[in-house]
Structures are given as structure tokens and as C-alpha cells.
Structure 1
Amino acid sequence: MKTRAVRMYGEMDVRLDEFELPEIKDDEILVRVISDSICMSTYKLLQQGKKHKRAPQNIDTNPIIIGHEMAGDIVSVGKKWQEQFKPGQRFALQPALNYKGSLDSPGYSYEFFGGASTYCIIPQEVMELGCLMVYEGEAYYEASLGEPMSCIIGGFNAVYHTNKQNYHHAMGIKENGNILIMGGCGPMGLGAIDYALQLDTKPKRVVVTDLSDDRINRAREVLSEEMAKERGIELIYHNPNNFEDSKKTLLEYTEGHGYDDAFVYVPVASLVEEADSLLAFDGCLNFFAGPTDNTLSASVNIYNVHYINTKLMGSTGGNNDDLIEALDLSARKRTNPSVMVTHIGGIDAIAETSLTLPTIPGGKKLMYTHVEMPLTAIADFEELGKTQPLFKELHEAVSKTHGLWNAEAERILLKHSNL
């Protein structure tokens, strides 16, 4: 079977190719990819090429398919898995494999397995690890965005607190505590706010920092202070540029208590240091943002580590349970992964979008691999709809959900592309 896929050949060298897939083996599964959202980690991969720890050394002759936030349909199932999976089922994928100590992952390491494709082959280790999941939700994009949401959920599950009486570790955020999300109005930060507002272990307060008033204003549109208040949580957006003493104000929000859980979503040493200085007793700091600089360092207050029990840790990716939780929360409408998405595009836009991702404003770029469409901001649908019927329909659909991408809009787009 022929597939079209965006493949990496080296540093900042990606190309949209058409090529033949091999016949699947008895322990493999052939899938049709429908949606794939672009992750900043893919840009970091392109920056490093062969130097990336997950990339094979022969990508110049055996290029890998990029993309790992994928969803679609199962097309053909090898004999080994025919009792568990059936053609026609929709799938979601947990790409953080960690198979027998290997770092190989879809979107980084495989010649025939990646999300930026029309069809690809899922190898046996994915099923063996339980990382291929049948998805019964309404829209493909929600399954694609389940992967980044699972990373966010994993970050919340990984923070911990300790009890001086018995030293037991209590995993997860502190109930009725203060959460600080630094650099929090990008796509992953928005997902984190959305998740924090629906937790059963409810925080008292969530404070979100960002240096852009435009990003904060957009965050307020989709995750408002009023929405948080209805859920019994105080939500505060904070631009440090607007305060003479930002750190002092951040501490004042907590009545001087400090932050029980802090998440840093931008790989900047000064943010780590500031978050560390704002921790409460037994506070935990999760450095979530993945840096490309392997020498990145920051100073932390060791005195506080010793005397007020502060903690510094990091998390990356999610596990199967995190993805299951992400898909369940989305299906029950407790979270809305659409808050992360600001742009839609087709397979012909994936290469350029991936290469220039840091320069493109807004949130997640959601791509449909059987669609030909330039990367387009959802905010531009209305204007484009004045001359193009497709965008008129898409604008009417997203207007029903306050400008957020939704299942109706996805159906319109896929029908337009004869899917």
C-alpha cells in the first residue's frame, strides 16, 4: 500500500514523500491516520537530527516518519492481534513506549510508523505494551490531543508531598493548596489549567503567569476566572511585566503561604529559580518543559530543601493510565482539549509548520493527514469564509463553541476531503 508521509532525513530536513509500505507481519497492525497534532518536541528533534537521543543514525538513507500525537482507524490486523483488534475500530496511541529499555518512539525512530502519514504500520511492541487503545469517542482530534493531555496529567500525578511522621509519599497535588503554573498560556499550559480546574483533589487557587497579554487574554476567553469560581477555585492570570515587584505579588496571592505545587512550562533557568523561591513548606516544583540545551542549569535553595522540605523534580510524557484518564475526561466533557488548538492544516502544511513551529503564534497546530490545506488560524475562518464556502461552514461550526475546534467542524473538514 502507498502512503504519504512527512519524513526526516537530517537536521531541519523534512520532506513530504509518497512511498510503498511493506506488507504487515503477523505481529503488526496497519492503520489509517486521520489526525496528528504537532508537538514542540518534534521541532526539537528536527533541530538535532541524528544528535537526538531517539533518532537512528541512518536517517539520511532510511528517514523516519515524524509525528506522534495521532489518531485514526485500524485497517488490517496481523494474526497475533486479531482477537484484540478489528479493522474499522478507531484508535488512540500512547507513544511513550520504553520497550525493554529502548528509547525508540513513533515520530522519532521508526521508518514506517509515525503520525504525519496517511497510513503507517504499528509494530508489535506497541501492542505488547498496551499502548494501542481502541477509541470510541466522537472525534479523532480528541484522541490526538489525548497524548499531550496525558503528559500534563502525568506531570500532575508525578508531583508529591511527604509526611514527617512516617515519610510516606503522597502522590499528586496538595488538596486545597496553591498551584503555580509558570509560562502557562501556551497550549500545554492551557491544558494544565483545564485539568487543574476539574480535579477531584481540588486546589484552592491556581495562579498562571505569562509574559504576553495577548496569550493571557486568549486564555481568559477559553478558561475564565468565572468558570473557575463556579468550580470553587480561584484562578489568577499574572503578567510579570505589569508589576513593579512581580515576585512579591505572586506571594501575596497566597497570603504569604507560598505555592504547594509549581509547574514550569518554559525551559528558562530564571523561571525555575523563581518558582523554587516561591515554594511553601513541603512544596514541590515540577520542571515540565523539555530543554534542548543539555547544559541548562539553575540554582535552587538547598537551605529550603533541608529545612522546609521543598522538592525539585521533572516529568516527561505520560503512561497508559494517564492517556486512559485523558480520553475519559474528554469523553465526559470534564476537560476540553480544544482549548489548546488555534490552527488547522493538512498534510501539505506539516513539514513547514514543524520547521517553523516556535515562530507561529497561538497554540496547538492540529493537522489532518488526508486533507490538503495550508496552516490556517481558526480566528481567520470568518474572513476566509467570505470567499471560500468551506471556511464559511467551518466558521459557523466553531462559532457554536466560542471559536473552539469541535467535532462538527472536524466532520465538515473530513467530508470536504471525501473521508
Structure 2
Amino acid sequence: MKTRAVRMYGTFDLRLEEFELPEIKDDEILAKIYSDSLCMSTYKLAKQGKKHKRCPQNVDTHPIITGHEFAGVIVKVGKKWQDKFQPGMRFAQQPALNYKGSMDSPGYSYEFFGGDTEYCIFPHEAMEVGALMPFAGDSFYKASLGEPLSCSIGAFHAMYHTKQANYHHEMGLKRGGNVIIMGGCGPMGLGAAAYGIVCEYHPKRIVVTDINDAKIARAREVLPESRAAEHGVELIYANTAKMQDERAGLLALTDGHGYDDVFIYTPIPAVATLGNQVLAYDGCMNFFSGPADKNFSATVNLYDCHYNATHIMGTTGGNNEDLIEANELAAKGIIDPAIMVTHVGGLDSIAEATCHLPELPGGKKLAYTQFDMPMTAIEDFGKLGEKDPFFKELDACCKAHHGLWNPEAERLIFKHFGVKVFGEEA
């Protein structure tokens, strides 16, 4: 069968093409993709090309399908999996396969397995590691956004603390502690803060920093301090650029105690250094934001590492359990992942948007792959609606949900473009 997909041939060489998918084998599954949220990691892949650890060296002759935060419906199941999967099942998927030690992942490494496409083929390893899982939510975008949310969930679970003269690691955030998410007013940081408010570790305080007042204002609008207070958590937004002494200013927010858990959500050396400087005794710092520069480094205090028991770590991606947790939180309405989304577009918008992600304003760019539409800011729907009744209706729908993308908007956009969900066509 034919499909249209965004395929990468090399450095910043992404092309929207139509081509023939092969027939699935007995140990494969054919899926129809409906949504994919664009990730900065895909930009890093496009920038590095063959130098990227997950990119095959023959990508110029066997291009890969980009996109790894995708969701859809199973269309056809190979014989090996027919007792576990059925056509019509909505799914979410975990791109971090870690299959037999391989770095291969959908959206990075496979010729026919990725999210920026109308249809793709799940290879046997995806099912063998449990990376294909049913999704019971009311929309596809929530399943797409489960993957980036699961990365932050994994980061929270991976934090650890100790007690003096005890070598046992207590996993997760410090219970009742201080958390800081540095550079956290972007989509990933907001997802992390939203999770921190409701997670089992129940921190006392979460500080989210940025240097852009507009980003802080939007963050406060979609994730207000009052929502955190309902869960017994103090949420503070702080513009460090306005602090005369950043270290002193951040420490003052904790009454001088410091931060038990520090997350670095932007790959800037000065931010990592500052994060290290505000660690409390036994504080754990997670360098979450992966840099493109292999020589990236920052100054850290090894005196504190020795005498104050501070520790530094890094996480990338999540595991199956993290994604299951993310999907359950979204499906139950405990976390609304739409707080990460500021733009919506179609399949034809993906290549250009991916190659220019660092330059594009706002948060997550959500793409629907069964139709074409320019990547459009949700806040621009109203202006476009002055001439286009469709955008007028879409704008009203989002305004009814506090300016956020929502399941009703997804159904509205599917109806407008004539998209039928497989198994629900009647």
C-alpha cells in the first residue's frame, strides 16, 4: 500500500514523499497514524544526520521516517501477534525500545517505522519489548504527548537520595522537599511541573525558572499556582534574569535550605552551573536536556559533591512503566498534556517545522498526519476566523477549554478534513 511520510536522507534533508510500504511479515503490525508531536530530539537528529547515534549510516539510500511521539490505530496484525492485538485498537507507543542493547528507535532508525506518516509498520522488536500498548483515552494527541511526559516521569523516578553512613539509595524525589525545574517554562518543563504537583513523592515546593516574562505568563495561565495549592504544593515561577544575585535569590525561595532535587531543562552551561550551586545537602541534580554538542560541559562544585553529598546524573527518555503512568494520568484527566501544545498543523508542515524548531516560538508543535495544514498557533485561530468559519469554530472550541487544545477540537479538525478513524468509519 502507498503512504505519505516525512523521510530523512541526511543533515537537514527532510522530504515529504509518497512511496510503497511492503506487505507486513507474520511478526509485524501495520498501523494508521493520526498524530505526532514534534520533539527537539528530532531537530537534533536532523542537525547531526549520520553523526547521530541512532541514525543508520545508509540513510541517504534508505531514508528513515521521522517522528517518535505518535499515536494511531492498528490496521493489520501479523500471525504471531493475533492473540494479543486486533485491528481497530488505539495505541500509544514507547520509542525507547532498548532491544538487545541496540539504540535503534522509531523516528530515528527505521525505514518504515516512525510517526510522521499516514501508515507505518511496527517491527517484531517493538511488540517483543512491550512498546506497543493500548490507549483508552478520548483523543490521539493525549497518547502522542504521553511519550514526552513519560520522559519527565522517568527523570523523577530516577532521582535518588541517601542518609549519612547509609549506602542505600532512596529512589525518587525527596519527600516533602524542594524541587527546581530550571528553564522550565517550555513544554517539557511544564509537563514536569504538572507531574510534580500530583506525583506520589509530594514535594513541598516546586520552583520553575525562566528568563522570559511572556513564557512565564503563559506557564502561570495554563498551570496556575492555585492548582498546585489544591494538592498541597507551593508552586513558584521565578525570572532569574531579574535577580541581582541568582544563587541568593533562588536560595531565598527555600528559606536558605536549597533544593533537594534540581532539573536542568535547557542545555546552557551557566544554567547547569547555577543548578549545581543551589543544591541542598544530599541534593540530586538531573541534567535532563540533552545537548547536541558532544563536548558540552559546565563547571560544578566537587567540594560539595564530596562534603555535602551532592550528586549529578542524567536521564534520557522513559521506560514502558513511565509511559503507562503518563497515559493513565492523561486518560483519567489528572494531567492535561495539552498545556504543552501551542501550535497545530498537518503532515505537510512537519519537515519545515522540525528543521526550525529552535526558532519557532511557543511550546509543542502537534501534527496530524492524515491531512495537510500549515503549522498554526492556537492563539492565531481567532484572527484567522475573521475570514474562515472553520478557524472561528476552532477558536471558540479552544477558548471554551481555557485556550488549550482539546478532544473536541481534535474531532472538529478531523471532521473538517474528512478524516475517518479506522474501525469507526460507520
Aligning the two structures, in what range does the TM-score lie when normalised by the shorter sequence?
Answer: over 0.9
Cα distance in structure 2, aligned partners of 1:400 and 1:175: 36
Cα distance in structure 2, aligned partners of 1:300 and 1:230: 36
Letter in 1 for 2:146: G
Mapping for residues 211-290 of structure 1, pairs under 5 Å: 211-290=211-290
Cα distance in structure 1, aligned partners of 2:86 and 2:403: 36
Letter in 2 for 1:142: K
1:67 is matched with 67
Letter in 1 for 2:189: G
User: Which deviations, in whole Å up to 9, do the C-alpha atoms of 1:332-388 show, x marking residues without a partner?
Assistant: 111110000000000010000001110000000000001211000000111111111
User: Which deviations, in whole Å up to 9, do the C-alpha atoms of 1:16-49 show, x marking residues without a partner?
Assistant: 0000000000000000000000000000000011
Deviation of the 1:60 alpha carbon: 1.0
Structure 1 counterpart SS, 2:318: coil
Cα distance in structure 2, aligned partners of 1:340 and 1:247: 28
Letter in 2 for 1:56: P
Deviation of the 1:185 alpha carbon: 0.4
Deviation of the 1:406 alpha carbon: 0.3
User: Which deviations, in whole Å up to 9, do the C-alpha atoms of 1:264-323 show, x marking residues without a partner?
Assistant: 001111111111110001100000000010001112111111111101000000000000
Cα distance in structure 2, aligned partners of 1:226 and 1:92: 31
2:375 is aligned with 1:375: yes
Structure 2 counterpart SS, 1:295: coil
User: Which deviations, in whole Å up to 9, do the C-alpha atoms of 1:185-225 show, x marking residues without a partner?
Assistant: 01100101111111232111111110110100000000111
1:359 is matched with 359
Report the TM-score, using the length of structure 1 for normalisation.
0.99
Identity %: 61
Structure 1 counterpart SS, 2:282: strand
User: Which deviations, in whole Å up to 9, do the C-alpha atoms of 1:214-268 show, x marking residues without a partner?
Assistant: 1000000001112212221111111112121122110011011000000000111
2:423 is matched with none
1:326 is matched with 326
1:42 is matched with 42
Letter in 1 for 2:40: M
Structure 2 counterpart SS, 1:181: strand
Letter in 1 for 2:256: G
Letter in 2 for 1:349: S
Letter in 2 for 1:271: V
Letter in 1 for 2:130: G
Cα distance in structure 2, aligned partners of 1:80 and 1:229: 49
Structure 2 counterpart SS, 1:6: strand
Cα distance in structure 2, aligned partners of 1:169 and 1:244: 36
Cα distance in structure 2, aligned partners of 1:320 and 1:388: 42
Mapping for residues 20-419 of structure 1, pairs under 5 Å: 20-419=20-419
Cα distance in structure 2, aligned partners of 1:313 and 1:154: 13
Deviation of the 1:165 alpha carbon: 4.4
Cα distance in structure 1, aligned partners of 2:340 and 2:122: 27
Report the TM-score, using the length of structure 2 for normalisation.
0.97
2:424 is matched with none
User: Which deviations, in whole Å up to 9, do the C-alpha atoms of 1:154-195 show, x marking residues without a partner?
Assistant: 010011001224321111001110001100001100101111
Cα distance in structure 1, aligned partners of 2:136 and 2:130: 16
Cα distance in structure 1, aligned partners of 2:6 and 2:136: 27
Cα distance in structure 1, aligned partners of 2:163 and 2:252: 26
Letter in 2 for 1:169: H
Cα distance in structure 2, aligned partners of 1:25 and 1:305: 53
Letter in 2 for 1:261: D
Moved more, 384-393 or 61-70: 384-393
Structure 1 counterpart SS, 2:317: coil
Letter in 2 for 1:214: A
Letter in 2 for 1:250: L
Cα distance in structure 2, aligned partners of 1:153 and 1:240: 25
Letter in 1 for 2:37: S
Cα distance in structure 1, aligned partners of 2:397 and 2:29: 34
Cα distance in structure 1, aligned partners of 2:249 and 2:356: 35
Cα distance in structure 1, aligned partners of 2:102 and 2:268: 29
Cα distance in structure 1, aligned partners of 2:283 and 2:410: 42
- How many residue pairs end up in the alignment? 419
Structure 2 counterpart SS, 1:100: helix
Deviation of the 1:59 alpha carbon: 1.0
Letter in 1 for 2:68: H
Structure 1 counterpart SS, 2:387: coil
Gaps spanning 5+ residues in structure 1: where? none
Letter in 1 for 2:109: S
What is the root-mean-square deviation of aligned Cα atoms in Å?
0.8
Structure 2 counterpart SS, 1:184: coil
Structure 1 counterpart SS, 2:100: coil
